[in-house]
Amino acid sequence: MNRKVSVAPMMDCTDRHERYFLRLISKNTLLYTEMIVDEAINRGDKKKLLDFNINEKPVALQLGGSSPRLLAEASKIGEDFGYDEINLNLGCPSRKVEKNKFGACLMKEPNLVADCLSKMQSETSLPVTIKTRIGYDDVEDYENLYNFISKLKSTGIKTFIIHARKAMLGKFTPKQNLNIPPLKYDFVYKLKKDFANEEIIINGGITSVDELKIHLEKTDGVMIGRAAYHTPYLLADIEREIFKNKNVPSRQDVIEQLIPYVKDELKKGTRLNQIMRHTLGLFHGQTGASNWKRYLSENMCVRDADVKKIDHIMDKIKYNNVDTSVGQSA
């Protein structure tokens, strides 16, 4: 699987509608689901939680949990639904996640994590990967990170996605954990040197193609998060410059291709705002971008949005003089 560039799993962001939208922009970027708890998959509405459009592929399922049995069962179910990879969340720092014993707090229990990964791999033929941080609380020395990755490697795991910040458990909010702990890219670069035969993916604070190119010189791949959500047309730049794809759609093309999907989803009971909220940043940096965001916010990103307005959205783009060119994102 090509993991040169991927979009990070983000709660309340990378749902199936967002992934379909991003796939219209980029054919090569690997996409991830939001984190889904193993117990929810095993006991809940599997179709509601896991169903996705085949056009989203390749797409990876991220799981949250700490029960080897439940994680293994959820991995098998994910494979049956057609996902291309199973990823275990070892990086989320929220209090709620820690209370339920999954996410970054599991860095404290490498033996338990190893048991989980071994059991997961025994139940699925898909690649099992992990996403973690460089440390937690006052534990942020490279030796600890090296030992943690070594333990997980012993289970047969080949791909490690590293957010280059430590997690402050119970001290910062999730938002603060994305900004306050300093980035230590050198830790991830050193991991690649020390684990030359494993796939090391870097994540954290990466916002441009130029930055991405620098990281690709020292790691196997780059995972981008908030930049992909707030400025999604960044993926078009990545298609052109990283994947050398010359057939990149314009922003207008993306919306035109999204409309049939929206109409089909509306027939299934999906609300208009559930889809269109993901497109707010499509015209970021372009002339008329504020008009686009205002129109969506007032007409399509509200709970009781008039579904008929989707038929006139292209007219609104033209009326508000929104620049729809293929030019680079700001």
Q: Which residues are catalytic?
A: 92
* Dihedral angle of Cα 183, 186, 191, 192, to the nearest 10 degrees: 110
Alpha carbon distance 158, 18 (integer Å): 28
Residues 6+ away with beta carbon under 8 Å from 227 = 206, 207, 208, 234
Which run of H or of E encompasses 221?
strand 221-224
Alpha carbon distance 174, 145 (integer Å): 21
DSSP for 30-89 reads EEEEEEEEHHHHHHS-HHHHH---GGG-SEEEEEE---HHHHHHHHHHHHHHT-SEEEEE
Phi, psi dihedrals of residue 208, rounded to the nearest 5°: -145, 160
Whether 32 and 14 have beta carbons less than 8 Å apart is answered as: yes
